[in-house]
Chain A
Amino acid sequence: MPGAALEIEGLSVRGARGRALLDVPRFAVAAGTALAVRGPSGAGKSTFLHALAGLVPAAAGAVRWDGEDIAALPEPARAAFRRRRVGFVFQEHLLFEELSAPENAAIAALYGPRAGRDAVHGRGRDRLAELGLDPGETRRSDTYSGGERQRIAVARALATDPAILLADEPTASLDRANADRLADELVRLAHEEGRTLVAVSHDPALHAVADRVIDLADGRITEDAAP
């Protein structure tokens, strides 16, 4: 899996009534890096991840992944970029409650290219198993616990074999042992498989294993260092 390099230039994201949510003059991440993002609540961490995925429009500036400025793309092209390259773990997990865990994990098989469908199903099941969930379960995903749902969301993000993994508090609902396991696994995905990981997290265990940790406050990067 060739990773993707990130380069941000003059990025500005604004919310309702022009409120500045994010201001990143210059920022770069090498392909295959495990980057952790931390900061107080409301600092703009989720907004940062959304901007990296092309989910929020930029008021100004560029977000380049491997040189391609996704901020300049129209929405269908940004969706295609997410579909092909990004695995996203939402802060609220956001599963399809009526579907089972394996159906959720392999959701991309419903709309992705026909040729890749079996692979998506296979990876979805494998990831569920790796994360300690039974890939044969058929019960609705809303019957799972919070931590289990979080792991289903991680499996879904990984089922498409993405070059870029954007995870918003992926270990927040997990117990210590599970959180440590997942943190190690995410970093391994970057180090061994070359994926670029950007994980928003309050979890010191994740900070400890990441290559780089940045601090966000009021929509600005205030610290940028190796742990």
Chain B
Amino acid sequence: MPKDGGIGASTKRREDVRFLTGKGRYTDDINIRGQAHAWFVRSDVAHGMLNKVDVAAAEAMPGVLKVFTAADFAGVGGIPCGWQVTDRFGKPMLEPKHPVLAEGKVRHVGDPIAVVVAETLEQARDAAEAVEVDITQLTPVLDMKAAIAADAPKVHEEIGSNLCYDWGFVEENKAAVEEAFKNAAHVTTLELVNNRLVANPMEPRVAVGDFDSAGGMHTLYTTSQNPHVIRLLMGAFVLGIPEHKLRVVAPDVGGGFGSKIYHYAEEAIVTYAAKTLNRPVKWTSTRSEAFISDAQGRDHVTKIELALDKDNNFTALRTETYANMGAYLSTFAPSIPTWLHGTLMAGNYRTPLIYVNVKAVFTNTVPVDAYRGAGRPEATFQLERLVDKAARELGVSPVELRRQNFIKPDQFPYQTPVAVVYDTGNYHATMDKLLEISDYAGFEARAAEAKARGKWRGFGVAHYIEACGIAPSNLVGQLGARAGLYESATVRVNATGSLSVFTGSHSHGQGHETSFAQVVAEMIGIDAGQIEIVHGDTSNTPMGMGTYGSRSLAVGGSAIVKATNKIINKAKKIAAHLLEASEADIELKDGKFSVAGTDKSVDWSGVTLAAYVPHNYPLESMEPGLEETAFYDPSNFTYPSGGYGCEVEVDPETGKVEIVAFSAADDFGNIVNPMIVEGQVQGGLAQGIGQALMENCVFDENGQLLSGSFMDYAMPRAEDVPFFKVDHSCVTPCTHNPLGVKGCGEAGAIGSPPAVVNAVIDAFHRAGRTDITHIDMPVSPARVWSALNG
């Protein structure tokens, strides 16, 4: 292994040097000469007729360049949706127009109405107060079940209904599932809510539009997880700018968690305004704005039922879920409660028959889309809560009921009844590992000790499956995706042997600059310090689909491996020429090419130099230079899985739940950088614990977000989480990508919420409160107290 760390080394994250010393360059750090500033006038009501927007007074204010309203965007397209779901009856989902600025109606608090562009931000803000907006309030649509009643007010009149789609999966299984429930020895039923969350990355969204009138070139700097996707959506669907005249740059990005995948109106508006005004235009979201304009996550209401036979084998599962879309369809919103959720309902189990019904509903709330885990946390939460409840009803151990129904290690590849095929896994192994690292055997003693202190201790387990590494393009195309989901890489070797790797993946906290370099360093056998990872700029990276769904190493890393293999193949040919040997005899080891069985060799830089100074080079058969591009389209999803154990102490007097221990035993396949993996899991766990205990969007009856700031939206802090025990020694490598990797970015947020809630219920039951069989998230002190005293 190269000294600076190849595959398997816990190399320190090289990007942290700039982040920790204040040298990161974020979008808000970009200030272009002549830049003007944009401030948005947003709706302060959830639902209303937008009668009039009068900008005359505002445009007369000092420093104001222009106030844009919907009328200025008459010629541009709406914000597109990237996925079309087909409903149970074979009809396409209802897809309302999403104008960049509100037209005729406002549909959620925060819906943008007008944009003031002025010389300074304060001038823009001053003028925004002078924009006169006349709105007639309408009854807001908030409750999903009420929203689909025939006489409910409509969020979008022109589509005639608030029901975006009614999806059934697998529709053909429906009758057989009903039949299995009729024959069940036991049925466990659970109704639950998956609470709506705000992503809240550290860095709020920012967009800077720039226009070069001489060349007709547009540049958008934006806080995006996928600059090429933004270029495609905004260029082709909204503004009509061809790709060669549109450059999208996502520089350092301070976290996304999904919320920075989507194409947002603000991006199109600054790009358009920059051309209209012939001035660079910058918009920086305030934190308050982020709460009402960034796509939010989760928000499902579900009824789920499990049928078991007399021996406690799972025989069928059915669900009915209401999924909130918010007021408009965000980029990938329709796919989250369907293909990223329904396909995961088998979990780790051999349940032979499954039927999932999802009703996606429009409401007068902020749009909802993917958020760390996206659909998979919702599936896992339902299933793992349900299995726990079943075990309690049957009087068997939750661990044993799971084990009994797990897919067995020798059953892989495993075809689930919900379309997907798990390539590898060993759930018994991860469960065993979890019980070991969490000292499950010692729990009773710890519970007794806690009881002596007046605390109720509980232990909760959950075992998750996720589908990552999205995704085979031809498959997702059939499922309604309007994009491919491959990834790209260009490896450019420089004359003296250093490399620049241009990747379509984007790094906004994941540490790609370190781990991708480790992969290439390992393959060539050179120091990782010789390798630069370049990402985030459509002008220098090949078309790539970006970072989400724990796909970067599995898909982006595979593209890098493919491109590096092409490089190595060509370099071997050059080495064969230099060494006057046959290509078949050339071996590459530790950055040196040698002829097998001889002491003849040439080192890496000797070959790279020959490629660029081809004095002694087979020019007749090979081009000079050493640069290769590869695209990798996966043949399947990857299926990370793991067992999570949470230990809580409930203070029965105050209702406060403290997480005193948390253990995670994951199978991520092969690991490139164990330290980064551990960091990803820890972050995911903190986020999942945040959802389980603290975070929540609460809207009042008028559709105002009551938890619209950090004063009321509770984010987890270091003191709210324990020291995690994280293990990833259980490895069943992925069989269909070259690195055998599965992805680790979302696991923590997927597996932890049910583990936490199961632990709370366990604590209740051990204290004799077996009457409480479920508690909704967030399990706040007030909720626990109400449950105990309700």
A binds B: no
> Chain A residues in contact with chain B, CB under 8 A?
none
What residues of chain B have their CB less than 8 Å away from a CB belonging to chain A?
Answer: none
